[in-house]
Amino acid sequence: MSRKWKRMLLSFIAFGILTALDQWTKQLAETNLMGQKPFVIWNNVFELLYSENRGAAFGMMQGGRPFFVIVAVIVFVAVLYVLWKLPDSGKYIPLASCAVAIAAGAAGNLMDRLAQNYVVDFLYFKLINFPIFNVADCYVTVSTAVLCLLLFTGFYREEDLEFLRMRKES
């Protein structure tokens, strides 16, 4: 098996594990938090609070399911493209990891939207009244932040990312 196919296989395994972990935590939230008072982890700071979100972050775009499905499909295609084109070098492991986590986050929330027309959220920072979120949201947010750091701090130079350019066949 070539290195590229091994990398793709490992990426799919990681994607599956991350997506399963997200779905498992949401199932735990439904089972243990739905219809209950918040489970306080740190009084007035952080708690587990069941919520059904039919929109995006901060409750925006309520009922925008078709849009979210299209965005998720675009994310999946982009991640597959990046993973396939990735050079065989350990330098690209952070990039691949971020891409896989972003795809897993998109998949976890997409699965909720398709199965029940809402996303299960349950992590709540009460101290700052931050919107309730879930593990998939953490994957997307943290990975995007790390990706921005990698791109904007010089970890990857422009020539390191040449592999992403689509070239015309001549």
- Residues involved in catalysis: 121, 137
What secondary structure letter does DSSP report for 143? H
For residue 49, give both structure tokens.
């609070």
Burial 48-66 (b: 16+ CB within 10 A, else e): bbbbebbebeeeeeeeebe
Q: Which residue has the tokens 């972003």?
A: 102
Question: From its phi and psi, is residue 69 left (phi > 0), alpha (psi between -120 and 50) or beta?
Answer: alpha
* Angstrom distance (rounded) from CA 167 to CA 128: 47
Q: How far, rounded to the nearest angstrom, does the alpha carbon of residue 96 sit from its chain's CA centroid?
A: 13
Amino acid 102 reads: I
Residue 122: phi and psi, rounded to 5, are -155, -5
